[in-house]
Amino acid sequence: MSSPTSSASPAIQIVYVIAALAAGFFAGSTLSKPLSTKLLTEPSPAAAPVSPERANPQQVSPLPPSAASLVGNSENALAPKTFRELDAALQRSGKSPAEKRLALMETIGRMKPDELSELLSAEATNPDFFRRMRFDFQFTAKRLAELAPEKAAALWSTTPSLRFQSDALLGSWARKDPQRFASWTLSLPKDVQRAAASTLGEIAASSPEQFAAIAPQIADTPAAATAARRAIESLTQTDPSEQTAATGNPATRVTRDPDSAVAYAKSLPEGTMRNTALAQLARMPGIDLSKQPEILNAIQSLPREEAARLGRDLEEQSRADSSAKTSAITSLPQGPALDAALASNFRRNADKDAAQAAANLEQMRNLSSYPAAVRGFVDATASKDPAAAADWALSITSSTEDDSAQTQRMAALERVAREFAERNPEEAKKWLNTAPLSDREYLILSGKPRPK
């Protein structure tokens, strides 16, 4: 006797297929009760029933009824060892694309964790990066993570080519048991801990409160900064669901007040994690940095590149926020963040109106911020007038060889020398030999000692 599905009209069959596909594809882990690990090799009108003794107790949810009629269940077939083998079998089945996807889901749903791990490991050596982004790979990874999260995590940690699959292989475990997942990351080598930072960051983003509970565990790991930054982003970002009644555009105000966000950041463990969280708050719209000494101190503790990135971000943010009474960069402490913000600001201003930017620079000659501002000005004008830009670069003076002014001077001179060299190598050589450069500067710009 044929099954209800096999005897249904074509229209009803299509409805069943769409329902089954939606349940399996969008839920990701909505699978059948694990049956035999046999691979489909022949079309079959109906799947054999599953006996209670063979059912896997770790099942998640049953496969939609219509899928059973789309999957063969030959006892003589073999479990797939590779996705290519699985794909070839499905191509031979003669099924429609929708039926093939359901058959693939059913086949993977029958496999045990060790078989799933073997399937993923075989694909990990495939040099085609995009091959691992296909549905079959992603579906298998999520299935393994659901059935055996620690096995999935072990596969991820020992297979470098799978590190970018952290969400598929680690996400399920991290969300269900953050405490245990965080403890597991502590056993990993430092470079692998750094790779796990994105997953810990997602815990922080989805639930800052939950992250605060595991923060002490990972405070001294390479993941500390990334996770702390994501927690603050979650606390301070605009809620996408908020809409203004008048325009229907996303609201621009933050979802938490600054005091609450600062209090949360200060509750995190001292060191990198707390400093990163506090510094991230500088990006919070509406916050007054002049009244937040903890944030200013945290900014000064940041590594140079991270501080410079923050400065550039704040400069761009201040331009976009026309409602702000004062620019956030005016409150930044001396250091890489302020230098980067000023350089970015004058680069933009000089692109729009070089004459006005030059006039503004003249007013800053005796200020400590002058070198960074000149550096930005030179970046914008060197391609238009390298000789004039060279004069501005040489106007940066410094009494030491390693202070901020010297760093800015060297960056501006390199920009000018590169422009001269691209336009006219002979002119560049002439400039190098006549410009008032130190021996060190001459060596860096020319690549050889100054002739004696």
Q: What is the mean pLDDT of residues 320-341?
A: 78
Is 449 buried (19+), middle (13-18) or exposed (0-12) by CB count in 10 A? Answer: exposed
pLDDT at 134 over 90: no
* Measured CA distances, 115 to 38, 41, 118, 128, 152 (Å): 11, 18, 5, 22, 12
pLDDT at 275 over 70: yes
The tokens for 133 are 């982004």
Q: What is the mean pLDDT of residues 68-79?
A: 43
Which pLDDT score, from 0 to 100, does residue 341 have?
94
pLDDT in tens, 280-304: 999 988 788 889 999 999 999 999 9
Which pLDDT score, from 0 to 100, does residue 90 have?
85
Confidence of residue 319 (pLDDT cuts 50, 70, 90): confident
Least confident of 112-116, 287-291, 409-413: 287-291
Contact between 172 and 143 (Cβ < 8 Å) = no
* Cα three-residue angle 328-231-307, rounded to 5 degrees: 40
Confidence of residue 37 (pLDDT cuts 50, 70, 90): very low
pLDDT at 235 over 80: yes
DSSP three-state, residue 449: coil
* Cα separation of the two ends of the chain: 101
Between residues 336 and 402, the one the model is more confident about: 336
pTM above 0.75, yes or no: no
The tokens for 128 are 């085609």
Confidence of residue 238 (pLDDT cuts 50, 70, 90): low
Which pLDDT score, from 0 to 100, does residue 91 have?
86
Confidence of residue 409 (pLDDT cuts 50, 70, 90): very high
Between residues 107 and 238, the one the model is more confident about: 107
Which pLDDT score, from 0 to 100, does residue 323 have?
52
Which pLDDT score, from 0 to 100, does residue 326 have?
52
Residue with tokens 């971000």: 313
Which pLDDT score, from 0 to 100, does residue 403 have?
77
Q: What is the mean pLDDT of residues 387-406?
A: 82
Q: What is the mean pLDDT of residues 256-276?
A: 90
Confidence of residue 112 (pLDDT cuts 50, 70, 90): very high
Q: pLDDT over 70 for what percent of the chain?
A: 75
Tell me the DSSP string of 257-320: -HHHHHHHHHHSPTTHHHHHHHHHGGGSTT--GGG-HHHHHHHHHS-HHHHHHHHHHHHHHHHH
pLDDT in tens, 173-219: 999 999 999 999 999 999 999 999 999 999 998 888 889 999 999 99
Q: pLDDT over 90 for what percent of the chain?
A: 52
Q: What is the mean pLDDT of residues 375-394?
A: 94
Contact between 110 and 32 (Cβ < 8 Å) = yes
